[in-house]
Amino acid sequence: MPDSPPIDPDSLEHAPGFSHAQLEGAVLAGGSEPEIRKAVEAAFDYRGDVTIKLKDGRSVEGYVFDRRAGSPNLADCSARIVDKTGGKTRVAFSEITEIAFTGKDTAAGKSFETWVKKYRDKKAAGETNIRLEPEKLD
């Protein structure tokens, strides 16, 4: 088998990654069933804490780590949250009035494209043995 030419990663095509909405600081209020489902799905995809306001006036603050949204009945659908104390809480979709994206989006600006740009900048500056370390979480 003949020798293959070296692979140039700069010339390879790649598919764009998933683009996350900029939700930090946003508030999604749900009046209708589709709005509630959309808000919970956005909270599940969010990489930070949210504050969920409930019909009885209570609020639950934490990270949405799971949701069960398959039932056509909103009362049978729920989101599971790891709250600030580390406890887990289940909230029925039918009890949600509002979801506020109150926590920092821990992955904002940390895409593969950002990593590649940093690498190229260091390479262009003549650096060798380039190591890009992950950023520390707050």
CB 57 within 8 A of CB 48: no
Contacts of 80 by beta carbon, 8 Å cutoff, 6+ apart: 64, 65, 66, 67, 88, 89, 90, 91
pLDDT tens digits, residue range 4-33? Answer: 677 666 665 554 544 556 788 788 887 789
Higher pLDDT, 28 or 1: 28
- What global pTM score does this model have? 0.65
pLDDT tens digits, residue range 41-85? Answer: 999 988 889 999 999 999 999 999 999 998 888 889 999 999 988
Domain ranges of the chain: 27-100
Q: Dihedral through CA 121, CA 123, CA 125, CA 130, nearest 10?
A: 100
Tell me the CATH architecture of domain 27-100: Roll (2.30)
pLDDT tens digits, residue range 77-102? Answer: 999 999 988 999 999 999 999 999 99
